[in-house]
Amino acid sequence: GVWFDKKINENPIVGFGHRRLAIIDLSEAALQPMSLPNEKLSIVFNGEIYNHAELRQELETLGHRNWVTDHSDTEVILHAFEEWGIDCLQRFRGMFAIALWDNTKKELWLIRDRVGIKPLYYALDDRGVVFASEIKAILADPARKRSVNEEALFHYLSFLTTPAPMTLFDGIKKITAGTWTRISANGDVKTERWWDAWDNIELDPESTDTDVTANILSQLETAINYRKVSDVPIGVFLSGGVDSSINVALFSKSEKQPIKTFSIGYTSDQRSIADELPYARIIAEQINTDHHEYLISQNDLLGFLPEMIRYQDEPIGDPVCVPLYFVSKLARDNGVIVCQVGEGADELFWGYPSWKIFLNLEHANSWPVPRFIKKLGVKTLTAIGLGSRLYTEFLRRASQGLPIFWGGAEAFPENAKWDILSPRLKEKFTGRSSWEVIAPIRKRFEEKAPNRSPLNWMSYLDLNLRLPELLLMRVDKMSMATSIEARAPFLDHHFIKYALSISPKLKTQGGELKHIFKKAVRGLIPDQVIDRKKQGFAVPIDDWVNDKLGTTAEKTLTDFCDATDFFDPKGVERILASGNARQIWYLLNFALWWNEFIRD
C-alpha cells in the first residue's frame, strides 16, 4: 500500500509505502499504511505486538471504540499512541520498527524495539528524510550517492558489523536499538533512548536455586506463549543445542498437533565442526515433532553468495548467515511463515566458552597491578615482534584502564587492524580505536547497573552491540529474505529483566557454562543434550576456505585491492596466507559488498 498526506496546500509533505508479510489479522482492513479514522496519526510498521489483544481491551475501557479491524496489532499501536503518546512503547511486548506520522504536530517518529530485533534505516539531507526497513529501498532513489562510510569500515573490522547509528553507506544511518528519532517538518531532529536493559531492575541475591530455576521456566514459557500469537503456521528452528531444544519442548507443551521443526546439516564429512543433526533428531523424536532437515553443500554456498550480499544490505561478517538462510527457506518451503529462534540465552546465562576465559581475564584485570607495569609489558611484547598478538591487545586494554571484554565477536583486535588498513586510512584514523563505540555503552553501564560485575558487563555490552547489530541482524535479513518471520522468546524484555536480576555467582556456580539455566531445563529435555559440548550454530568455514571458497576469496580480494585503497594488499596477502578462515570471510564480505553496491 501507499499513502500520502495532502493536507498542506494539496502538496504532500510525507508519504508512506508498505509491503506486507501478513501474520496477524490477514484481512484487507489490516493492510498498511494505516491511519486513524480522524487522520491524526498514520503508520507503517514491521514486527509484532504480542500483547495487542490485552492493550486493545485496556484502550476500549478508556473510550477507544472506533476500531476498523478485527484484531490488528498495527491499529492498536495507533490508538495507544493517541492515548499515551510516545510512552505507549513501554506497554508493548514485542519486536518492531515503527514509522509514525503525527499530523497534528507535523512530526515523524522512527522507533526501534528494545533489543533491535527489527532494523530501521534513514537518510536525512536538504531534500528531506527517507526511511526503510531495508537499505535497498533507500538506494532506490536515483539521486542517492553511494559511497563508503570509512569510519564505519574502521569499526566493522573490529565487530564484524557496523555499530548503530552508522551504516557502511555514507549518509545512511540506522536507528539504535531501544531508541527513537523524532523529525519535525521544520527540520528539528531529536533522538532519545526509551529503554535500557538495566531500567527498573531489582537484584535478587537471596533466592535459592529452586526459586530461580522455577522462575526461569515460568518466565520463558510465558515469553514463548506470547510468541505463538499468529494467524499463520508457526514452527521452531532446532539446532540440537539446549536453547532451541527447550524452545521446542515448551512450545509443544500445549499443542494438540506435532509442531514443525527445522534443522540444517552439511554434505560430506566436515572436519572443522561436529554434526549436530543427531541431537536435533533426539529432540524431534522425544517431542514427536514434524521434523525437516536440509544438508548444505559448498556449491550451495558459492551459488548463494551474491544473493547473501544483497540480502544483508551491508556486510554481516558472520558465516552463520548461510545456514540461517537455508533453514529459513526450508521452513517456508514446508508451509511455515513464523519460526521461533534461540538467540539471547547465551548472553543472559554465561553460555559461551570464550566468556569463561574473558571472565578470568576481567578478574585478573582487577588485581592491584600498577598500570605502568602493564604498559611496560605492552612495549616489551611489541619490541620483540608480538605487538599484533591477541594477548598483547588484552594487556594494552588493561594498561589503559579499560575492560578486557570488547564484545563476544571481534574480527580483528585493534593492534591487528592496523596491519590491514591502507596507508591512507592508517593516517586518517591515527590515534583512534573502536573503544569509542563501546565507551558510551560502558558509561551507561556504570551509571545504571546495580551490580557492575564483569559478567554483567559482558551481558550488557552484547545486548547493546553484538546482538542487535550482528546476531539479530543476520536472523532478520536471512529469514525475511525467504518471507519468514523470526521470533526470539529469550529476548522478551520481561525475561531479560529477570535474567539480569540473577546473581552472577549463581550463573557461574561450579564453573559450568549456563549452570542455572541448565538446572532449570533438566528433566524437560534429555541430559545428553544438556551436557553435550557447546557448539553454537556452526559453519564449516575452515573446510570451505581450504577448498573452492578459498580460491574465490583470493581472486576477489586481490581484484578488490587492485581497484581500491581501503586495505594494504600485503596485509591482505598475509591474512590469505595465514589460512585464518574467519578473517578471510570478514574481508571477503566487505569486498563482495563493495562490488555489489558501490562499484561503478
Averaged pLDDT of the chain: 95
The amino acid at residue 455 is L
When pLDDT is cut at 50, 70 and 90, the band that residue 273 belongs to is confident
Distance CA(345)–CA(405), nearest Å, equals 18
The secondary structure element, H or E, covering residue 261 is: strand 260-266
Distance CA(269)–CA(540), nearest Å, equals 10
533 class by beta-carbon count within 10 Å (0-12 exposed, 13-18 middle, 19+ buried): exposed
Do residues 114 and 178 make contact, with C-beta atoms less than 8 angstroms apart? yes
Distance CA(493)–CA(197), nearest Å, equals 8
pTM: 0.96
Which SS3 state, helix, strand or coil, does residue 37 take? coil
User: pLDDT tens digits, residue range 10-38?
Assistant: 778 899 999 999 999 999 999 999 999 99
Mean pLDDT (whole number) for 589-596? 98
Do residues 262 and 237 make contact, with C-beta atoms less than 8 angstroms apart? yes
Which sign, positive or negative, has the C-alpha torsion 68, 72, 75, 79?
positive
What are the backbone dihedrals phi and psi of residue 519, each rounded to the nearest 5 degrees, phi first? Answer: -65, -35
pLDDT at residue 8 tops 70: no
User: pLDDT tens digits, residue range 237-253?
Assistant: 999 999 999 999 999 99
pLDDT exceeding 90 applies to what percent of the chain? 89
Do residues 297 and 323 make contact, with C-beta atoms less than 8 angstroms apart? no
Q: How many CB atoms lie within 10 A of CB 391?
A: 12
Least confident of 163-172, 307-316, 485-494, 532-541: 532-541
pLDDT at 6: 73
Distance CA(498)–CA(215), nearest Å, equals 8
Do residues 552 and 302 make contact, with C-beta atoms less than 8 angstroms apart? yes
Mean pLDDT (whole number) for 492-509? 95
Q: Which residues have C-beta within 8 Å of that of residue 128, sequence separation ≥ 6? A: none
The secondary structure element, H or E, covering residue 338 is: strand 338-340
Q: How many CB atoms lie within 10 A of CB 418?
A: 17
Distance CA(279)–CA(242), nearest Å, equals 10
Mean pLDDT (whole number) for 446-462? 96
When pLDDT is cut at 50, 70 and 90, the band that residue 81 belongs to is very high
pLDDT at 190: 98
The amino acid at residue 358 is F
Mean pLDDT (whole number) for 175-188? 96
When pLDDT is cut at 50, 70 and 90, the band that residue 600 belongs to is confident
546 class by beta-carbon count within 10 Å (0-12 exposed, 13-18 middle, 19+ buried): middle
What are the backbone dihedrals phi and psi of residue 64, each rounded to the nearest 5 degrees, phi first? Answer: -85, 110
SS3 letters across 159-219: HCCCCCCECCECCCEECCCCEEEEEECCCCEEEEECCCCCCCCCCECCCCHHHHHHHHHHH
As given in the structure block, the three cell numbers for residue 65 are: 471504540
> Helix, strand, coil % (nearest 5) of the chain?
50, 15, 35
pLDDT at 510: 92
pLDDT at 415: 86
Which SS3 state, helix, strand or coil, does residue 503 take? coil
pLDDT at 268: 77
β partners of residue 113 = none
Structure letter (DSSP) for residue 510: G
Bond before 540 cis per omega within 30 degrees: no
Do residues 403 and 452 make contact, with C-beta atoms less than 8 angstroms apart? no
What letters, b where the CB count within 10 A reaches 16 and e where it falls short, cover 308-343? bbebbbbbbbbbbbbbbbbbbbbbbeeebbbbbbbb
The amino acid at residue 412 is F
β partners of residue 404 = none
When pLDDT is cut at 50, 70 and 90, the band that residue 9 belongs to is low
When pLDDT is cut at 50, 70 and 90, the band that residue 576 belongs to is very high
